[in-house]
A and B are shown apart, each in its own frame.
Chain A
């Protein structure tokens, strides 16, 4: 069974551009969460989606948006990129949308904004 997959692995963008990151959860998992990990910090929660609906949102500006598709894969979109958006973006796959289910993280997408 495939684990959590994220694409692309690395990405370089310039300020003001838009970026789309993709995540495929583990087969059978219906919930996805997105986290941002800036260098030297722990992952910070951005969004959670369960059954294609947003279940939670962290303290991030409206430039960040996400969606989940019928096959439970997910996209994270960031508009008007800033230098501070440079980070590792992690996707977590969760069996359901409820607390205390184990979260399985993908390898992440490394975004560099120049």
Chain B
């Protein structure tokens, strides 16, 4: 029973275009959402996060949108660059003590030049 779902295993985008990665969740108690990027042979690297009280957070080329009523969030990368090619994980943190993250299965983004 997956609480965080990334339904697109892969996404291919041309350099300079927008990449949109989607994530759905089922648990309304999630309080905080994060996106991580992972290159082969490296651990996941924190990218951007959003609190459940906000609907948008922006950091440079990366913007995360949260739609609580739809239990959906998305990561927009504009413009996409070849170095963005990696696996992107959506993660959620429940509203409780502790720091356990619940991850989706990931989406592999390929940006071609």
| List of B residues within 8 angstroms of A99 by Cβ | 31-32, 93, 95-99
Enumerate A85-112 residues with CB–CB distance to B below 8 Å: 90, 92, 94, 97-108
Interface residue stretch chosen among A11-19, A38-46, A62-70, A72-80:
A38-46
* A interface residues, how many (CB within 8 angstroms): 29
Q: Count A/B pairs, Cβ under 8 Å.
A: 71
Cβ of A81 under 8 Å from chain B? no
Docked-complex contact B89 and A94, CB < 8 angstroms: no
Docked-complex contact A42 and B105, CB < 8 angstroms: yes
| List of A residues within 8 angstroms of B46 by Cβ | 102-104
Docked-complex contact A45 and B43, CB < 8 angstroms: no
- In which size bucket is the chain B interface? 20 to 34
Cβ of A48 under 8 Å from chain B? yes
Contacts A43-B44, A105-B45 hold; do A100 and B93 have CB atoms under 8 A apart?
yes
Partner of A45, one of B6, B41, B42, B100: B100
14 contacts between A and B (CB under 8 A): A33-B99, A33-B100, A40-B105, A41-B105, A42-B91, A43-B89, A45-B102, A98-B99, A99-B31, A99-B93, A103-B99, A105-B45, A107-B41, A108-B43
**Residues of A participating in the B interface, judged by any CB pair closer than 8 Å:** 4, 31, 33, 35, 40-45, 48, 55-56, 58, 90, 92, 94, 97-108
**Residues of B participating in the A interface, judged by any CB pair closer than 8 Å:** 4, 6, 31-32, 36, 41-46, 89, 91, 93, 95-106
